[in-house]
Structure 1
Amino acid sequence: MKSVRRPLVAVSAALVLVVLQAVLDPTGLLALVGWSGALPSTAGVWSYAPYAVFLPVLLGMTWWTALRAGERYWTLVAGIVLAVLLAQAAACLVMTGNPAVSAWAAGYVTAKAVPAALIVAAVARWFGGPTRRVVHRCGPPWIPAALFAAAAPLLAGVWWTSAAYAPGVPVARPDRGPLSVIVAVLLIALATALILNPLRRRVPGVLGGWLAALVAGGLVGVVQAIVAFAVDGGLDGDLWPGMAAYVAIADGLSFGACLGWVVGVGALVVERIPAAGRVRVAQAAAAAIVAIAVAVAVVVPSGTSASASAAGAGEAPAGFLRASGRVITDGRGDQVLLRGVNVNQLVDFYQPTKGVATTRPLTEADFAGIAAQGFNVVRLNLSWSTLEPQRGTLSGSYLSTIKQAVGWAGEHGLYIVLDMHQDGWWKGATTSGTDCRPGTDPMWGYDGAPAWATTTDGAPRCQFTGRDISPAGDRAFQNFYFDTSGVQSALVATWGKLAAEFRDDPTVAGYDLLNEPGFGETAPVTTSYLLGRFYDRAIGAIRAAGSQQLVVVEPSILWSGLGFDSGPTPGFTTDRNIVFSPHLYAESITMDRSLGLPPIVGIDRQFTLAQRVADEYGAPLWSGEYGYWGDTADVDARLARYAQAEDAARLGGAYWVWKQACGDPQNGTGPTGNGLMVQDCATGGDAPPRDDLLGVLGRAYPRSAPGTVTMLTAKGADLLLTGQATQLSCGLEVWVPGAAEPHVHSTGLTKVQAVAAPGGWLVRGCAAGRYTLNTNS
């Protein structure tokens, strides 16, 4: 009988580590089982899952793996990693009831699991008593390896999706095609077969096979990372290859952890089959793996694409924009590029300095000025706190203000995207007398939800590195995602009411459902699964109100902070009239820059990654925010790079920000406000505008173009545009800045004319087939 000394030491070490992390981590996000200072919520089991589910599973699995795999340090490390991942999967399953999402979510704690395993295994080996290493007999590895690999395309769930998986990286996702699936399945089978017997000789029973599957999944992730390095740009001045490798390895580990029991059970069964029968079983398993891989890769994608295309929203009325595959169109066969600015002058901000206004007045002159720069869209930031100050009733005065702004935009030829804006969830600041835990600091409030929709369960309003990591804000988002007290349902209903007000107005291009959603306390359950569920509900309310405008969906704040994110699970909605809108802040407000590190994702690469995820959704890509790079010289240089990459990708976006008042909490303190139209903080009046930035932002571009734009380069008034129209269209409209009439050269275009407009010129024409347009001053 084995001694219980080593398991007892391992469990004790794990428990001590959990307690130390909970005490030392002021946010509750970095610990295995964190505590942010919030009281358990009575609204659902999700707040108890880390303690009632994660901790028991962690300690129970730690005991088992220390008992069975504790004779060697590296097998015990693998066992503790398995314990952490399974504990996370179990807790997420209790929270969501969704096995696929829960299994995938296990990979998100890899960065916690590996250090914890190294520490606990070391303590167990040092203080766990003498070892007795025995080599065990085991059967042939190919049959259990084949069973495990064959399960991959059937049970992939949400593994191997997101920006990390470039075209060419082998993944067992049916929608990636037969070759990808077959190569990935063979990789999984080979890795498992190579590792299974060496591990089971050291760790007997089901656990040995399970650990082999875990390690094999990680090795497949390493292979995927190597392939990604080769096909995805390699080292290009950023750390992306390392981040992509981490995602692939984490996905592989979680896949092995959650499905590796197939290998363990399969290995035991094979050992009980007479040797003469193993050949026939192996042949059957090999035939099964090939048949499953081919069938899933060929049959499943064709079925899913048909259902997806049939499940779109109703056809948008004439004059309304709509999503058409990768592009936004006007419904007449013309691609539309939406380029403009954010306007935050209707936001209900926290006021850090008494007597200093947080916003500048919004007038018709703002819309006239925006149009004169050549922009054609305004992302109008709204505050839920002002729109619905009392639950269930929209403010009539605020609605009138919004309608007035939409009317002004229409009069000046601008589209509007109505954005439900939030920063830090709500405008509450740290309460006087709050004792912030070491590592966190008192903070200002910002903007967003009304007080009645804010449930923090007593968590402190203190910030860690910045406003988006606050225990109170994280708990408020957590309660939103789990619809505590119907808070999420209230915002869903509000979107339905707001959409009903504008359903007949084509000036409103679309609805941006929630600005930079926070991650709550349990990403990716929150940032992927539950965020997608909220989006689907809100889209349903908008469509039920009779509104067919575009719906803009964002990934979580992690995209703005890291340069990438998983986003809502693909298939989160069947509506086809959606636009994917990450905020492309690479090399700007991202975490790497704040820490003085090389960029995680560079300016150029971010467009590729964002487009990759948009393609998974079958949606156009549009950046709702970008900019904010820092000092003048830095902004100018980086904006020039951004503009070149944006044109190369043939995309639109909205710069942050048109005007930012001196009293805006995001402005901080300084002699001037931020934005393109600058405020002098000493006088409260206007300072000189940022003409250096406006010169880049207001460069020539096609507002609309027949068919599809195939190439675009521009600098100032100089533009080169090529396109392809499948039918005759006279929808070409190209903005060209400057007072001088542009020189226009074209092929494949008719009825070309340049018409003077405020601030520049509009070049119009008709096309059918291929065409080119060149303008210069």
Structure 2
Amino acid sequence: MSSNRLAWIAILALGLLVIVQAAADPSGLLSLLGWTGADLWPIRAPWQIAPFVVYLPVLLGVTWWAVRSIAGSRWLFAATTGSVVLAVLLAKFAMSLVAAGDLGTAAWGSGFALAKAIPAGLIVAGVVAIAGRRRSVADAPDDAPSVWAGALIFGAIAPLLAGQWWAGAPYDRWMPAPNVLNGVLATVGGIAVLVLGAIGCQRVLGRRVAGGTATTFLAGWFAAMGAGALLALAASIVGMVSDDGFAGDLWPLMSGYIRLADGVAYGACTGWIVGFAAVWSRRQSTQPSPIPRPALRAGAVTLAAVAVAVPFLARPDAQPASPAPLDSAESGTLLPLRVSGEVIADAAGREVLLRGVNVNQLVDFYAPRPEVPSTLPLTDADFAGIADHGFNVVRLALSWSALEPERGRYDEAYVDQIRVAVAQAKAHGLYTVLDMHQDGWSNAPSPDDVSCRPGTSPMWGYDGAPEWATITDGAPRCQFTGRDISPAGGRAFNNFYYDTDGVQEQLVQAWAMLAGEFKDEDAVAGYDLLNEPNFGESAPLTSSLLLGRFYDRTIDAIREAGAEQIVYFEPSILWSGLGFDSGPPAGFTDDTNIVFSPHLYAESITMDASLGLPTIVSIERGFTLADRVAQKYGGIPVWTGEYGYWGDGRVDKAARFANEQDARIQGGAFWVWKQACGDPQNGIQELGDGLMPVLCSTGEDAPRNTALIDELTRAYPRFAPGRITHLAAEGDRLELTGTAGDGGCRLEVWFPSRVDAGASAVDTVGVEDIAFTPLGEGSLMTGCAAGDYEVRTGGA
């Protein structure tokens, strides 16, 4: 069969596959080219039509060219599979580039399509192999063209082009990974694997693939993709010893896939360098170059050396400045908070552990049954109860829909509710993190007449954006597996990320307004810009690059409003659903007063738990991954904005979670303080869930889970002079060591039980003027710490 005919068979098979997948996949996420039911008209931006006018032509065109080029290969099945994989990744790259105009993110993001590309490649390759059984096969060449110069450049420029490749959660410092964020050893090791891998793969392919210039070029390109796969394999092998291990979760498999996606995507986007080198080498056998080989080698080596050196020289080493210390911290006064290196500190130079709860009682939730309230009243008694349990922070969830019910008009009554809540929290010694909350984009439910595709179902509303900011382009409000995968929600988020009709700008200005209101309020611990942002329709473009752009412009608006408090930023909902995510790119903002705030729901509400699968990420590993991503942002603090929902065995899991918090000296906010019986997250049931549950039939308090409360309210230092060096606790048992700095000396330690001033069970070193004060259900120990200090209790 002729090469042209095989190429046409390949694109016909691929085109049919695209149509079948689009029809069968109700989410639009699992198919090569998804269709969610959104209107195709009017066209407002390139991203709306890029899938059809860019992705599809590139996909089919590259497949046709590649299959035609390798039709004479003895390895037709494997070569066709590689051709389709290459076509899918290049199509994703081209579409992303047109949609957002960012070369680096478009190239890196192409790897997200690998899980779709491989099955598609196998299917099309099977069809082509059957159709080409009687084709003529060309003789393989005696030797493979040399590509050492191209391979050297291909590997050496990897750190220069790395961007998000080989960065974040899947990589530790020992793995070969050519990104300067991983250190010199990993970078050099990664370059070596890419260079040697490209040369080795070329030797294998070049001796088995016969044909003309196009075939030689494509074989070199495949060799580069193979080198990327070898890099993933090398990193995974090293990772089994240095990082992944066999800890009972699926992380080694998941992280191995991500590394494979990174490596193959890099090969797909830059492997043409090796392809050109193969063509050039082949031509030298008949048409020698006038440039001497020593000069060519020297040029290649020089270019490679420069490419390796530049990213290391350009990497910033500056650390955020520490807050100016005060001579002392006034007793009972909440001082302004700032990021200092990897910790949160107050204006007295003391490290602050923010441990508390989420409060959702100001959220504008959808009410599944109007007669059943979806929130409980928020009163001073709530803040008193929170403080009585030893907590020192509240993450106060707010709703954009309530804040700005009409475009450009803020509801002063709602703003006043926020003011009152912050003041009441402050009166009880609690900091407040203002959280712009959303779940499922908005509180709009499916319309009564909605028609949901098979595999999806009508859904409740939840909370978030106002109606005027909800642009769904006719996509149905139907959920696939849960509220966060909805065609309407995905399209609304896409329009938000691309700032359609200025809706993103409106939220930016809403934050500027709030920041202006609270810029002088020291008890406001900061601003959490958007709760669990959805990935939209075009991850990772939306969930990384465009999410980072939103954060950047919002931070700028907050600072322009005069607010200097901390900004907390979250990765997308994927972190809550999988236990990890890529997050905004490194350097998305030049602001240093920021905190990475993922929601560590591992072994809780992640997809593995809901689908009955083995654990993807364990509780302990979840902390490791969060710390690793925070290092990507320059070594900033991690603060868990939400955790909880453990269900069966939640006391044991809460203990493991708390142990990790102590070991890493971190804070967080439990979800949730109280939950109303009509809360759509709670469902209509007898018990209003939460740390303080409510009996729905009577409205009275339900019995408390005291064992869970005991784990959440264990002893901990609320404010510690200088830096904490070790923390471990269980109930009242505490091991605390620290090194005081030049700032305030006042140490505050919470104990969940009453401890009187003469308690011999509390041993201290380097702490003077010790006093114990009853606080709610426990005690607050204060003292003045200097130098290296220790606090130990209960025989610890």
TM range (shorter): over 0.9
Distance in 2 (alpha carbons) for counterparts of 1:489 and 1:763:
46
Mapped pair 1:381 → 2:397: yes
**CA shift in 2, pair 1:314/1:118, >3 Å:** farther
- Map 1:194-205 to 2 at 5 A: 194-201=200-207, 202=209, 204-205=215-216
Q: 1:751 to 1:181 in 2, by over 3 A?
A: same
How many Å separate the matches in 1 of 2:702 and 2:111? 50
Match of 1:245 among 256, 260, 264: 256
The residue type paired with residue 628 of structure 2 is R
Deviation at 1:123, TM superposition (A): 0.7
| Whole-angstrom CA distance in 2 between matches of 1:723 and 1:55 | 59
Amino acid at match of 2:201: I
- Report how far residue 315 of structure 1 moved: 12
Give the equivalent residue in structure 1 for 2:768. Answer: 750
Shift of 1:212: 1.0
Counterpart Cα distance in 2 of 1:221 and 1:122: 26
What's 2:412 paired with? 396
**Which residue is 1:99 aligned to?**
103
Alpha-carbon contact 1:379-1:416 (below 8 Å) kept: yes
* Equivalent-residue separation in structure 2 for 1:2 and 1:213 (angstroms): 28
Identify which of 516, 540, 543 aligns with 1:500.
Answer: 516
CA distance in 1, matches of 2:693, 2:34: 43
Query: C-alpha distance in 1, partners of 2:537/2:311?
Result: 36
Is the 8 Å Cα contact of residues 729 and 768 (structure 1) preserved in structure 2? no
Of 563, 577, 583, the match for 2:593: 577
* Alignment map for 1:603-614 (pairs within 5 Å): 603-614=619-630
Q: State the alpha-carbon separation in 2 of the partners of residues 552 and 158 from structure 1.
A: 21
Distance in 1 separating the partners of 2:701 and 2:773: 31
Is 1:528 aligned to residue 544 of structure 2?
A: yes
Secondary structure in structure 2 of the residue aligned to 1:762: strand
Stretch moving more, 729-738 or 273-282:
273-282
Match of 2:131 in 1: 127
Structure 1 CA distance for aligned equivalents of residues 262 and 158 of structure 2: 12
- Distance in 2 of aligned mates of 1:364 and 1:278: 83
Alpha-carbon contact 2:755-2:772 (below 8 Å) kept: no
Residue 36 of structure 2 corresponds to which residue in structure 1?
A: 36
CA distance in 1, matches of 2:352, 2:478: 43
Quote how far apart the aligned CAs of 1:639 are: 0.8
List gaps (5 residues or longer) in structure 1: none
Residue 564 of structure 1 corresponds to: 580
> Using the alignment, how far apart are the partners of 2:700 and 2:382 within structure 1?
15
Q: Is the 8 A contact 1:589 1:628 kept in 2?
A: yes
Tell me the distance in 1 between the aligned counterparts of 2:299 and 2:222: 21
Alpha-carbon distance between aligned partners in 2 of 1:728 and 1:397, rounded to the nearest angstrom: 40
Aligned residues of 1:519 and 1:527 also touching (Cα < 8 A): yes
Deviates more, 1:87-96 or 1:425-434: 425-434
| Distance in 2, Cα, partners of 1:297 & 1:425 | 39
Q: Is the 8 A contact 1:314 1:548 kept in 2?
A: no
Cα offset for 1:209?
A: 1.0
Instruction: Assess, with a 3 A threshold, how the Cα gap between structure 1 residues 286 and 57 changes in structure 2: closer, same or farther.
Output: closer
Q: What is the distance in 2 between the residues matched to 1:197 and 1:314? A: 61
Structure 2 equivalent of residue 434 of structure 1: 450
The residue number in structure 1 matching 2:167 is: 161
The answer (yes or no) to whether the contact 2:150–2:273 under 8 Å persists in 1 is yes
What are the superposed Cα offsets for residues 82-116 of structure 1, whole Å, 9 maximum, x if unpaired?
A: 00000000000001111100000000011000000
Compute the displacement of 1:281 (Å): 5.1
Find 1:146's aligned residue among 141, 148, 152. 152
- Call closer, same or farther: CA 1:505–1:724 in 2, change over 3 Å: same
Aligned partners of 2:152 and 2:301 also within 8 Å? no
C-alpha RMSD over aligned residues: 2.1
- SS of the aligned residue for 2:740 comes to strand
Alpha-carbon distance change, 315 to 158 in structure 1, aligned in 2, over 3 angstroms:
farther
Among 271, 291, 304, the alignment partner of 1:260 is 271
C-alpha distance in 2 between matches for 1:507 and 1:375: 14
What corresponds to 2:708 in structure 1?
Answer: 693
Q: 1:57 to 1:689 in 2, by over 3 A?
A: same
The alpha carbon displacement at 1:138 in A equals 3.9
Opposite residue 13 of structure 1, the aligned amino acid is A
Quick one: which amino acid aligns to residue 778 of structure 2?
G
- Residue 287 of structure 1: which of 298, 301, 304 is its match? 301
Q: Which stretch of the first structure deviates more once superposed, 225-234 or 439-448?
A: 225-234
Helix, strand or coil at the partner of 2:769: strand
What residue is the counterpart of 2:9 in the other structure? 9
Contact kept in structure 2, 1:496 and 1:545, CA below 8 Å: yes
| 2:354 and 2:392 in contact (8 A); partners too | yes
Q: Could you tell me how far apart the structure 1 residues matched to 2:682 and 2:7 are?
A: 54
**CA 1:568 to 1:450, structure 2 compared with 1: closer, same or farther past 3 Å?**
same
Aligned residue type for 1:195: C
| Distance across 1 between alignment mates of 2:632 and 2:461 | 36
Paired letter, 2:370: K
Alpha-carbon distance in 1 for matches of 2:585, 2:380 = 40
Letter aligned with residue 251 of structure 2: W
Query: Structure 1, residues 536-571: CA drift from partner, whole Å, max 9, x if none?
Result: 010011000000000010000000000000000110
**Whole-angstrom CA distance in 2 between matches of 1:735 and 1:93:** 53
Separation in 1 of the partners of 2:83 and 2:625?
A: 34
Deviations 1:619-641 (A, max 9, x none): 2100000001114xx11121111
Of the three residues 83, 87, 92, the one matched with 1:83 is: 87
Question: CA deviation digits over 1:66-96, x for unaligned, max 9?
Answer: 1012331111111110000000000000011
Answer with 517-526 or 192-201: which moved more: 192-201
334 and 532 in structure 1: CA distance in 2 versus 1, 3 angstrom threshold: same
Q: Distance in 2 between matches of 1:506 and 1:214?
A: 53
Q: How far does the alpha carbon of each residue in 1:404-450 deviate from its partner, in whole angstroms, 9 at most, with x for none?
A: 00000010000000000000000111111212111111111100000
Whole-angstrom CA distance in 1 between matches of 2:343 and 2:83: 48
Q: 1:728 to 1:457 in 2, by over 3 A?
A: closer
Structure-1 residue corresponding to 2:53: 52
**Aligned-pair CA distance for 1:276:** 11
1:723 and 2:738 matched: yes
Aligned to 2:722: 707
- Give me the whole-angstrom Cα distance separating, in 1, the residues matched to 2:164 and 2:295: 31
Residues 769 and 132 of structure 1: is their aligned pair in 2 closer, same or farther, counting only changes over 3 Å?
A: farther
Q: CA deviation at 1:293?
A: 5.9
Q: Distance in 2 between matches of 1:182 and 1:292?
A: 14
Shift of 1:268: 1.7
User: What is residue 432 of structure 2 aligned with on the other side?
Assistant: 416
* Alpha-carbon distance in 1 for matches of 2:343, 2:149: 47
Alignment deviations for residues 723-774 of structure 1 (CA, whole Å, 9 cap, x no partner): 1223363131111111243532111222222222222211122233322111
Alignment equivalent of 2:754, drawn from 739, 742, 760? 739
CA contact (8 A) 2:167 2:181 kept: no
Partner residue, 2:335: 319
Q: Is the 8 A contact 1:101 1:158 kept in 2?
A: yes
Secondary structure of 1:774's aligned partner = strand
Deviation string 1:660-686 (CA, Å, 9 cap, x unpaired) is: 000000001322110011111111222
The question of 1:675 aligning with 2:679 is answered no
Return the letter of the residue paired with 1:424.
G
Aligned positions, number: 771
CA offsets, 1:522-543, max 9 Å, x none?
A: 0000100000000001001100
Q: Residue 744 of structure 2: SS of its match in structure 1?
A: strand
Return the alpha-carbon distance in structure 2 between the equivalents of residues 451 and 195 of structure 1.
Answer: 55
Residue type of the partner of 1:736? F
The answer for the alignment partner of 2:534 in structure 1 is: 518
**Contact map agreement 1:344 1:659 (CA 8 A) in 2:** yes
Equivalent residue letter for 1:96: A
**Is 424-433 or 679-688 further displaced after alignment?**
679-688
Checking the alignment, whether the CA contact within 8 Å between 1:555 and 1:567 is kept in structure 2 is: yes
Distance 1:31 1:323, change over 3 A: same
